[in-house]
Amino acid sequence: MPSSSVSMHGMWSSRLMFILAATGSAVGVGNIWMFPYMVGVNGGSAFVLAYLICIAVIGVPVMMAEVLVGREGRQSPINSLISLSERSGLSPHWRVLGWMGALTGILILSFYGVISGWAMAYVVTTVSGDMNGVDASQVTAMFDSFTGDMTQVMVWQGAFMIATIFIVARGVGDGLEMAVKYLMPALFILILALIAYAATTDHFGEGFRFLFQFNAADLTAESILAAMGMAFFTLSLGMGTMIAYGAYMPPDANILGTVGLIAVLDTIVALMMGMVIFPLVFANGLEVSAGPGLMFITLPLAFGHMDGGQLFGGIFFLLVTFAALTSSISMIEPAVAWVVEKFKLTRAVAAIVIGGIAWLIGLGSVFSGNIWSDLQVLGDRTFFDSVVFLTSNILLPLGGLIFAIFAGWLLNREIISGQLEMSGPSLQVWSFLIRYIAPVAIFVVFVMALR
Please report the pLDDT score of residue 289 as a whole number: 59
CA 287, CA 334: separation in Å to the nearest integer? 39
Please report the pLDDT score of residue 1 as a whole number: 42
Q: What is the DSSP letter of 291?
A: T
Q: Side chain identity at 363, as an amino acid letter?
A: L
CA 381, CA 392: separation in Å to the nearest integer? 14
List of residues 6+ apart from 96 with CB closer than 8 A: none
- Domain assignment present for residue 30? The answer is yes
Please report the pLDDT score of residue 32 as a whole number: 76
CA 94, CA 398: separation in Å to the nearest integer? 14
CA 376, CA 386: separation in Å to the nearest integer? 8
Q: How many domains does the chain have?
A: 1
| Angle CA 159–161–163, to nearest 5 | 70
Please report the pLDDT score of residue 292 as a whole number: 58
Q: What is the pLDDT of residues 113-147, one digit of tens each?
A: 999 999 999 999 999 998 898 887 888 899 989 99
Q: What is the DSSP letter of 92?
A: G
Neighbours of 311 (CB within 10 A): 15
Mutual angle of helices 221-234 and 396-405, in 10-degree steps: 80
Neighbours of 221 (CB within 10 A): 8
- Domain assignment present for residue 47? The answer is yes
Chain centroid to CA 446 = 18
- 8 A C-beta contact, residue 300 and residue 313: yes
CA 323, CA 362: separation in Å to the nearest integer? 19
- Domain assignment present for residue 4? The answer is no
- Domain assignment present for residue 5? The answer is no
What Å distances lie between residue 152 and 108, 117, 159, 300, 440, CA to CA?
Answer: 21, 10, 11, 19, 44
Give me the residues of the chain with pLDDT under 70, please: 1-4, 33, 37, 40-41, 287-293
Largest CA distance in the chain: 66
Please report the pLDDT score of residue 2 as a whole number: 45
- Domain assignment present for residue 7? The answer is no
CATH of residue 390: 1.10.4160
- Domain assignment present for residue 1? The answer is no
CA 345, CA 209: separation in Å to the nearest integer? 53
Range of the domain at 408: 15-450
List of residues 6+ apart from 317 with CB closer than 8 A: 119, 120, 122, 123, 126
- 8 A C-beta contact, residue 403 and residue 84: no
Please report the pLDDT score of residue 28 as a whole number: 81
- Domain assignment present for residue 6? The answer is no
CA 330, CA 407: separation in Å to the nearest integer? 22
CA 431, CA 426: separation in Å to the nearest integer? 9
- Domain assignment present for residue 9? The answer is no
